[in-house]
Amino acid sequence: MTKQKNSRRRGNDLLDSLYNATIKLTDTVKLTNLTFQQIAEEANTSRAVLYRRWTTPFELLQEIYNYKAKELFDGSFFDKLKDNGSLRSDFLQLLTLFQNTYKKIGAEIINNYYFLRTQDSDNSQETEMHKNAVEKYLRTMERILQNAETRGEKIKKVHHVTLMLPFDLIRTENLIRPENINKNRLATMVEEVLLPVFTE
């Protein structure tokens, strides 16, 4: 979809290129050591292009991670959720889908997103995105639990925050013990944590 007849990139083409150059640099350069100079060189453009859009590399990073994290927060992966006939299977599928999205976006990117979030409390745009995501997560959990109840499984009433547990678990695992994540670990989360918490 990229126009190759033009040598001078514009708009979103250029923006993508800047994003990618920055992400690529984070493989070798620590986040705290990034400079506009390097980014401009990596993206084959001039520094002016960067200064017209952002005042510091921090702002650029913030924009990138907000953008990249969108897929995690739009909750579109929930569309693949099926009623598997048991809460156990539904939970496992939920964790698997969520973890796959983490993997697809890249755990480092999401970790960085959450880090920048703590650095900047007045980011209303991201806050809105995050708030909507939490709403979607809650509604998804409510639906899963409702289905289970309809099937006759005994479901406990819990506070709303507790409904965030599956997502909290995946986030923690990717931040603290990323090397630990596999099918067995997800199954253990369901068996030893989620089922005891949400069922009698």
Can you tell me the distance from the alpha carbon of 76 to that of 119, in angstroms, rounded to the nearest whole number?
27
Residue 58 CA to residue 165 CA, distance in Å, equals 30
The answer to whether residue 114 forms part of the interface with DNA (CB under 7 A) is: no
Among 18, 95, 169, 186, binds a copy of itself (CB under 8 A): 169
- 14 versus 187: smaller Cβ distance to a copy of itself: 187
Q: Which does 193 bind (CB under 5 to 8 A by kind): DNA, a copy of itself, none?
A: a copy of itself
Residues 49-68 interacting with DNA (rule: CB under 7 A)? 49, 51-52, 55-57
H-helix segments, the chain:
11-25, 36-42, 47-53, 57-74, 87-105, 107-119, 124-151, 165-176, 183-188, 195-198
Cβ closer to DNA: 36 or 91? Answer: 36
**Contact of 61 with 160, CB cutoff 8 Å:** no
Contact residues: DNA, CB under 7 A: 3, 6-11, 14, 35-38, 45-49, 51-52, 55-57
